[in-house]
Amino acid sequence: MPRRNHHRSGRPARPSPTFGGATARTESGPATDGDEDYAVRSIPGARAVKTYRCPGCDHEIVPGVPHLVVWPIDRPGGADDRRHWHTGCWSGRRSRGLTRRWS
């Protein structure tokens, strides 16, 4: 079977998560969450209209800055527990801990 049909652990891939009509990709979460899977959706700068605080660096993501919206797939709350991350902070999530509590 092609690689894209398998999850990194060898389990079959689950359908892509959606939120607000947009499809998100699935990625593993921060180092503190072990092998938990997260839905990740890119937000272009033109659609970033509010200020958020990134849990990776504890700095603000201001309007106009492209970033990511991330939420746990299997945790209760799911998309209601979404967080906005700087793209670079999300990329480095496995090598450094969170600076802000996820909840």
Tokens of residue 70, six digits: 């991330």
Q: How many folded domains does the chain comprise?
A: 1
> What is the span of the domain harbouring residue 9?
3-91
The reply to whether 24 falls in a domain is yes
- CA atoms of 32 and 54, how far apart (whole Å): 16
Residue-level pLDDT at 23? 77
Residue-level pLDDT at 62? 97
Q: DSSP class of residue 10?
A: S
Task: Please give the model's pTM, rounded to 2 decimal places.
Answer: 0.72
Residue-level pLDDT at 75? 75
**Partners of residue 40 on adjacent β-strands:** 25, 70
Task: Please say whether the beta carbons of 66 and 36 come within 8 A.
Answer: no
Residue-level pLDDT at 24? 87
The reply to whether 102 falls in a domain is no
Reading the chain (103 residues) residue by residue, the pLDDT tens digits are 444 444 455 555 555 565 555 678 999 888 776 678 899 999 999 999 999 999 999 999 999 999 999 998 887 776 678 999 999 999 998 887 666 655 4
The reply to whether 96 falls in a domain is no
